[in-house]
Amino acid sequence: MDYNSIQQLLKLAARNNKRIGEIVLAVEAEKENESPDTIRGQMVISWEVMKQSLKKGVTEDIRSISGLSGGDGKLFFARQPKYLSPHISKAVAWALGVAEVNAAMGRIVACPTAGSSGIVPAALMLAKERLAVDEEKIITALFTAAGIGIICSVNASISGAEGGCQAETGVAAAMAAGALTELAGGSPTMVGHAVALCLSNMLGLVCDPVAGLVEVPCVLRNAGGLMQAVLAAELALSGIQSRIPVDEVIEAMNEVGDSLPESLRETALGGLANTPTGNQYRKKVQ
């Protein structure tokens, strides 16, 4: 059993009447020649670290070495939102908070990268609180997210230096969108649409870290990615379909990534990094 595309992965899940994460786990166990329980146990450890970083990000006073980031997660968590639902508002705070923990040399789980590490944990914590799903389902959902991430990595990229920020926070959001859809009872087909819709909305996002540091706009983009993930899951769950098949969207992301100029692929030479203020920060930090 193996999969090279989202389509294949969804088919395997539908045919075997299993959750996507169960298929991803089974394939991993087979490839690594380990028992599914061992692999699952490793994921439980990752989830524990994620939970610690979620909590830390919205309760502790966090400040990065450069001073460019810190404090937003905590601030947002304590506030009554004007437009967002209280649950979504909290999830945004978590996404910001984990990204800030990362920037301040705290412990996180890269997902798929350190810069985009806030999105998936925040989304899963949202599902846990909003839908009261149990831990066991969360762990399986992490495997669902991982399957989506692996396919994006193989057929496109999960590195900002290669594919821009669409490859980091974009893929993180797609992973989260798929997991959120499945956790809310969506079919494998709906999961595919959630991934497609989410990536479509994040296509072309450039990587332009101010002063070359994983802070501005990275922390903010974790909040944006979380919102895109929730939106895509909600759209897919309503029955709205992506007009472009999911694997073609991933192909498109690859093509867009390849055509991004080097200045917008983590070199900190373009975009926000190259604004007058961005350049001032660079001088101050270096």
Rounded least distance, CB 25 to another protein, Å: 8
Closest-CA residue to 100 (of 126, 63, 48): 63
Q: Is 142 in the site for another protein (CB under 8 A)?
A: yes
Q: Is 168 in the site for ligand SF4 (CB under 6 A)?
A: yes
CA atoms within 13 A on the CB side of 123: 38
- Residue identified by tokens 């926000």 is 272
**Number of chain positions touching ligand SF4 (CB under 6 A):** 15
Indicate the angle between helix axes 135-155 and 246-259, nearest 10 degrees.
Answer: 50
Contact 113, 158 (CB under 8 A): yes
Q: Is 170 in the site for ligand SF4 (CB under 6 A)?
A: no
Question: Is the peptide bond between 217 and the residue preceding it cis, with omega within 30 degrees of 0?
Answer: yes
Q: Is 273 in the site for another protein (CB under 8 A)?
A: no
Closest-CA residue to 118 (of 98, 138, 100): 98
286 binds, among ligand SF4, another protein, none (CB under 5 to 8 A by kind): another protein
Q: Is 116 in the site for ligand SF4 (CB under 6 A)?
A: yes
CA distance 208 to 106: 22
CA distance 43 to 197: 27
Residues with Cβ within 8 Å of residue 197, at least 6 apart in sequence: 177, 231, 232, 235, 236, 240, 242
Q: Is 70 in the site for ligand SF4 (CB under 6 A)?
A: no
Contact 93, 58 (CB under 8 A): yes
Among 198, 214, 246, 264, binds ligand SF4 (CB under 6 A): 214
Rounded least distance, CB 85 to another protein, Å: 27
CA distance 179 to 256: 25
Among 153, 187, 189, 274, binds another protein (CB under 8 A): 153
Among 207, 210, 230, 235, binds ligand SF4 (CB under 6 A): 207
Choice between 109 and 226, CB closer to another protein: 109
Among 211, 216, 250, 252, binds another protein (CB under 8 A): 211
Interface segment toward ligand SF4; rule CB under 6 A; list 84-92, 112-120, 129-137, 183-191: 112-120
Within 222-261, which residues bind another protein (CB under 8 A)? none
Task: Give contact residues for another protein (rule: CB under 8 A).
Answer: 24-25, 28, 31-32, 39, 42-43, 45-46, 49, 64-66, 68, 101-115, 117, 120, 142-143, 145-147, 149-150, 153-154, 157-159, 161-162, 175, 211-215, 268, 285-286
